[in-house]
Amino acid sequence: NTSIAQNLVADKNDLILAIATPSAQAVVNQTKNIPILFTAITDPVGAELVQSFEKPGGNVTGTSDTHPDAIKNTIAAIKTFIPDAKKVGIIYNNGEPNSVVNVKHAKTAIQAAGLESVETTITASSEVKQAAESMVGRADVLYIPKDNTVVAALESVITVANAKDIPTFVGEGDSVKRGTFASYGFDYHDLGYTTGKMAVEILKGKKPSEIPVGFPENLELIINKKAAQEEGITLTEEQLKNAKIVE
């Protein structure tokens, strides 16, 4: 990342686009003069890319893939679809800073919904299946945050959830397409489009410091009907009315 960032700065580009936190941090460390636009960042303030969402400061702004309402809405959906649920099992890698932030928000939402969280942490994808199995009998539903380590072994979670009829709620739409039940998510294409509009503003002369950090514009409930069947969830027409359905 560092050598690529140095090359981009040496080329005197008008604007540098960085995707994901390590790339963005590498570029920010190399230049305070060239405008930098980031995208798909969970916690731009925590990653020290910007001073705040509203006033980024410096030569950097962009889009975060963590919509402020996504986790809250997904946790609220547990109450809607699984009204008898009491305990929410969370599997995550506590060595991933983005996961720690997401889990903190999830636990706040779980508590606010009158539910209880049960956590299992892992350090490698090879531990995910065992972690999912450890939740059987301890959790009524599972919540998988946006966690690279767990998502890399998502099929292990799905295997256990399907065998034991444990509904799975997740941190992003791509995991729903892979076979989990539900999430409030967005299309990364939309996030890219939003970032592109910010790029146009910068290239027309606006300073990154004047553009607040953006979020996905369209947050929607995404449901996998096949996963619902596999996990023993009965869906009503009313529940499906405003959802985006994936098979």
Could you please report the per-residue DSSP string of 72-124? HHHHHHHHHH-TT--EEEEEE-TT-HHHHHHHHHHHHHHHHTT-EEEEEE-SS
pLDDT tier for residue 97 given thresholds of 50, 70 and 90: confident
Q: How far apart are CA 57 and CA 59, in angstroms?
A: 7
Residue 163, pLDDT score: 98
Average pLDDT for 23-49 = 95
Q: How far apart are CA 239 and CA 63, in angstroms?
A: 31
Kindly report, residue by residue over 132-174, the tens digit of the pLDDT.
999 999 999 999 999 999 999 999 999 999 999 999 999 988 9
Q: How far apart are CA 90 and CA 245, in angstroms?
A: 24
Strands of 36-41's sheet in order across? 16-19, 36-41, 60-64
Show the CA angle centred on residue 121, arms to residues 82 and 219, nearest 5°.
Answer: 45
Q: How far apart are CA 94 and CA 121, in angstroms?
A: 6
Name the 3-class secondary structure at 152.
Answer: coil
